[in-house]
Amino acid sequence: MKDPIAIVGAGIAGAYLAYRLARDGHAVLVVDDARPGRATGWNPGGINPLHGPGFPGAMEGFYRDAFRLHAEHHEYVQARSGTDFGWRVVDRLFLAKDEQEAVQLRSLADKYNELEGFSAQWMDPAEIGRWDARVGESWVGGLMTRGNVRVDAERYRQALLAVAGSMGAEIISGTLKAVATRDRAIESIDWGHGAVAIRHLCMATGSRSDDPIAGWSPGKIVPVTPAIGDLLLVRSSDAPPLADVSNGLTAIYQHDGDHFWIGGTVRADGPLGETSETIERALLAGAHSLMPGWKAPEVVARSSAARPATADGLPAVGQTPNYANGWIINGLGGKGILLSAWTAEIVARMIGAEAALNEFATVSPDRPADHG
């Protein structure tokens, strides 16, 4: 059997790639150390193709492709893994606090109404009040959108790995310590149990991608830093909001049954893991500002995770400058659950071609950018 394609990092990016490559018949080896702050473990799992960095614009077609790929594969992954990861279409009400936000949101409506399976409709404050009187009265209106999907991101990750495993992928718990290279080729990797020969290496290591690994010198690539987000998981005995409700990062998202996520924040530093009471109070106040009439939820868990972010907000996906068989999937920021199916697809294609593909130059890891 040929040496495997190694994937380091089994967040959603590495897990989707493992599934994709195993399904294409490749030998796959995944090494992951499940460190605290893994972005995939703590997020609301929105698969939303119609907003985010580079939308509208450079990422617009890529977001649509990513959504389509999830839609095509999710039933297979669910059936073969036997894991229900909660795929479901959700409505979302984007609230506007002033005219400027209202103009921005209204301009999104056409994008929703143009895409098959999606729609959007502007609601004025009276309509919102009739829809759910628990929403605050301070909003100038809101865009009700239909078609976005929500999953349990952690269960989705596990389901993808389970399918890859069922097709022969080897999944190892460990930290990559060293790589051995010759000229422009990575020959083996070592996670503390000796060198293992590999055919290709894809680093999908998320926000701590600059941790030192002996021998790993990929060349000049865009830096990735953590954009930390805090979330509460809450339970409410009150009737559920009829849709996800948000204003900017402040949001109430459906999770499972009577459980909801309350978000959100973004910060450059500070602790990962369980967050402070101050942050909890701020998040609860945010949820209250969205829906003052929603009965105060009980906090089940509070935590934070690190979005792997680039300076321009775009992902870094493709070949490393220094290694012909070295690949990177990183910088997925706040869109990694959505983007994972697409990043797996394009890296699988590039590995097949043994070359970077020009059509994805916008997201190339060595694109011109502030290299810090």
Ligand X SMILES: Cc1cc2nc3c(=O)[nH]c(=O)nc-3n(C[C@H](O)[C@H](O)[C@H](O)COP(=O)(O)OP(=O)(O)OC[C@H]3O[C@@H](n4cnc5c(N)ncnc54)[C@H](O)[C@@H]3O)c2cc1C
Which stretches of the chain bind ligand X, using CB under 6 A? 8-14, 31-35, 38-40, 43-46, 175-176, 204-208, 211, 213, 229, 231, 263-264, 305, 307-308, 332-338
CB of 119 to ligand X, least distance (A): 20
Please check whether residue 102 is in contact with residue 140, taking contact to mean a CB–CB distance below 8 angstroms: yes
Helix (H) or strand (E) holding 203: strand 200-203
Pairing mode, strands 298-309 and 225-235: antiparallel
| Among 8, 367, 9, residue whose Cα is nearest residue 220 | 367
Residue 8, token pair as written in the block: 């380091």
Between 302 and 307, name the residue whose CB sits nearer to ligand X: 307
CB of 370 to ligand X, least distance (A): 20
Between 213 and 351, name the residue whose CB sits nearer to ligand X: 213
- CA distance readout (Å), 262 to 36, 46, 118: 20, 13, 24
Between 141 and 336, name the residue whose CB sits nearer to ligand X: 336
Between 147 and 336, name the residue whose CB sits nearer to ligand X: 336
CB of 267 to ligand X, least distance (A): 11
Between 102 and 202, name the residue whose CB sits nearer to ligand X: 202
The whole-angstrom separation of Cα 183 and Cα 181 is 7
CB of 67 to ligand X, least distance (A): 10
CB of 154 to ligand X, least distance (A): 10
277 alpha-carbon distance from chain centroid:
26
Between 4 and 141, name the residue whose CB sits nearer to ligand X: 4
The whole-angstrom separation of Cα 82 and Cα 259 is 23
**Backbone φ and ψ of 90, nearest 5°:** -125, 145
Which residues is 31 bridged to in the sheet? 8, 172
CB of 133 to ligand X, least distance (A): 27
